[in-house]
Structure 1
Amino acid sequence: MTEHRHRLREFESLRAVITTGTTIGAARRLGISQSAVSRSLSQLEARVGRSLFLRRSGRIDPTDEALRLNEKLDPIFETLADIEGAEWATPDNEPLRLIVPPTLAHHFVISRVASFLQKNEGKQLQLDIQATDVLVAGILDLRYDLGLTSAMIQRTGVHLMPWRRSQVVCAMPSNHPLSEKRVVTPQDLEGVALIEFLRRLGTRAITEKIFARAGIRPKQVAETATNMAALELVREGLGVTLINPFPLLSSGMEGVVVRPFDAAIFYDTSFVLPSGRPPSQLARQFMQFVKLTTPHDKYSEPV
């Protein structure tokens, strides 16, 4: 029995280092010392007979073997979380801790939250509005129970449950010459004033590859971090932008014309949950409510 407890501590350390990215973060998350985390990792590596992390210049990066082992551990920790009572041991009056980025919050989620609480008297919900990187960190640290985002997230430790899919569109001022076209192609943007997204955001690299393959160069006039900022710049007549239409453009926007863009860029709007931890009953109720009450729109479809 003692040996099994030691192995469980080793696995906990492995998962904590992978999800937090550092032994310090793992120690903080597990409530133990950094040396205890390092010792558990060394014991686990000795047990399996291979290196699970690359240690260099103060960094610790998981190997492919570590990531595969972590995936195999998911069912074990999901079962443990269920036994420990993620649902049945949670008081009925415990609030749902929800985190959402600004665009989804102000143009979609707030109305869903209001309707959900009106239909479920006595339930409580805490809504935090933060950028997606803060959302991911909060889910990893278990400070939030549930998140929603349309960002392209690839991060161990968080589980994405897509529920809405949309395709990129080209948004432009109402008097723009491209508004005469039924579909905008990459070639149509040669030399056209374009509002782009910051390089740290996932879609920027995708659009740049599309432009490179087409051999064209739009005229970059501005970079921004949010869909709302991009659309406001479009409405001011600064240029066009390539954007996820859900939910901002679901009901249209005055002064902005939208045309399909001929490129296979898709966005999944997803619920975000911590890996290895089943959602609470209240989180499941809210997710189901959102799925059932999302109105039909011409830019997105259920997944």
Structure 2
Amino acid sequence: MVRIMAVHRYRLRELEALRALITAGTTVGAAQRLGISQSAVSRALTQLESRVGRALFERASGRIEPTEHALRLNDRLDPLFATLADIEGTDWSARAEEPLRLIIPPTLAHHFIIPKVAKFIQAAPNRRVQLDIQATDVLVSGILDGRYDLGLTSGMIQRSGVTLIPWRKSKVVCAMPENHPLARNDVIVPADLQGADIVGFLGRLGTRTLMDQILGLAGVQYNLLAETATNMAALELVREGLGVTFINPFPLVSRHMTGIVVRPFKAPIEYRTSFVVPTGKPPTDLARQFMRFVRLSTPKDPYSEPA
């Protein structure tokens, strides 16, 4: 019995070495995380590579880079180490001085993510999170220069150096005051907006460009009464009776909003709400845990689905 337990524990140390090296990027850093010698880390990884029958790390430009197989194996270990953390009452990989540096745009933060952050910390009180709330352009630059570990955005980002990990997808909707004539329609089509008063978005935003193209192709002439940069501001102007707007329904209209009616809009616009990580650098263990927690704790709603 003693021998069997020792063999299983030995294999666990190999898996711990894998995760530690992927997170730290060096055998020295991995050894410090695990409290063992650098040679012990190298030995554990050599034995693990022998077990799986393929290389898990490659040296490139003086750095140790995980192979695709190593990253896939590490992803599959998340449930194992989450369970071990629950059993031990601690998070094996997150030191007190290494918080999750999280950046979220205002709409997602205030209308969805902040309660998730609270529950994430409450589930393991030794976790620390640094939450910054900024616009998507600040989010991207912060991820690129290493000031943040993880971001979330619904923005249409096309920028080298950052990788989007899809989380939710949703289709554009039309929002209007509850007494608006178009509220009688089950679905809004571009032709319905001929002569309508519209609350739009600033020209630098991707949604505005797509909407101009769609309405232009349909030959629709409309009255642009106001332009804004956020979904929340657009909805508040609509609530005041200023006109109709087109928005990503997740997460703002996942629940009832007083004074506003939402209808599907027949247009080929799909939004992706995604996690944002730096390209070529594996997410930290705390970032992986947070992404998994958010995915598992997101309730169903009529306007979005898993991406």
Deviation string for 1:237-256 (max 9, x for gaps)?
A: 00000000000000121000
Instruction: Give, in angstroms, the shift of residue 136 of structure 1.
Output: 0.3
Distance 1:168 1:236 in 2: 21
8 Å CA contact 1:170–1:260 kept in 2: the answer is: yes
- Which residue pairs with 2:95 in the alignment? 92
CA distance in structure 1 between the partners assigned to 2:117 and 2:305 by the alignment: 21
| Distance in 2 separating the partners of 1:213 and 1:143 | 42
| 3-state SS of paired residue (1:199) | coil
Q: Are residue 269 (structure 1) and residue 269 (structure 2) matched?
A: no
Checking the alignment, whether the CA contact within 8 Å between 1:192 and 1:239 is kept in structure 2 is: yes
- Structure 1 residue corresponding to 2:238, chosen from 234, 237, 248: 234
Please give the alpha-carbon distance, in whole angstroms, between the structure 1 residues aligned to 2:66 and 2:99. 19
Q: What's the counterpart of residue 129 of structure 1?
A: 133
Structure 1 partner of 2:229: 225
Displacement after TM superposition at 1:116 (Å)? 0.5
- Mapped partners of 1:186, 1:167: distance in 2: 15
Q: Which amino acid aligns with 2:148?
A: Y
Correspondent of 2:295 among 283, 291, 294 = 291
Residue 217 of structure 1 deviates from its aligned partner by 1.5
Aligned to 1:103: 107
Task: Compute the displacement of 1:91 (Å).
Answer: 5.7
TM superposition shift of 1:212: 1.2
Distance 2:94 2:183 in 1: 55
Contact 1:81/1:277 (8 A) holds in 2:
no
Query: Which position in structure 1 is the counterpart of 2:176?
Result: 172
Letter in 2 for 1:179: A
Residues 200-254 of structure 1: CA deviation (Å, up to 9, x unaligned): 1111111111011101112100000000000000000000000000000001210
Letter in 1 for 2:121: L
| CA-to-aligned-CA distance 1:62-119 (integer Å, 9 cap, x gap) | xxxxxxxxxxxxx968x74659xxx9xx762210000000000000000100010011
Of residues 164, 170, 175, the one that matches 1:160 is 164
- Structure 2 residue matching 1:128: 3-state secondary structure: strand
Secondary structure in 2 aligned to 1:154? coil
Q: Answer whether contact 1:82 1:277 (CA < 8 A) is retained.
A: no
Higher-Rg structure is 2
* Counterpart pick for 2:193 among 151, 168, 189: 189
So what's the TM-score if we normalise by structure 2? 0.70
**In structure 2, what is the equivalent of residue 247 of structure 1?**
251
Instruction: State the AA in 2 paired with 1:205.
Output: T
Counterpart code for 2:173: V
Superposition CA RMSD, Å: 2.1
- Does the Cα contact within 8 Å between 1:81 and 1:276 map onto a contact in 2? no
Query: What are the within-5 Å matches in structure 2 for residues 5-16 of structure 1?
Result: none
SS of the equivalent of 2:111 reads helix
Counterpart check, 1:300 vs 2:301: no
Structure 1 residue ranges without an equivalent (≥5): 1-74
Residue 265 of structure 1 deviates from its aligned partner by 0.5
Answer whether contact 1:81 1:278 (CA < 8 A) is retained. no
Other structure's SS at 1:134 match: helix
Change (3 A) 1:81 1:133: farther
Unaligned runs of 5+ in 2: 1-58, 68-73, 75-92
Q: TM-score, normalised by structure 1?
A: 0.71
Alignment check: 8 A CA contact 2:197 2:224 kept: yes
| SS of corresponding position for 2:163 | strand
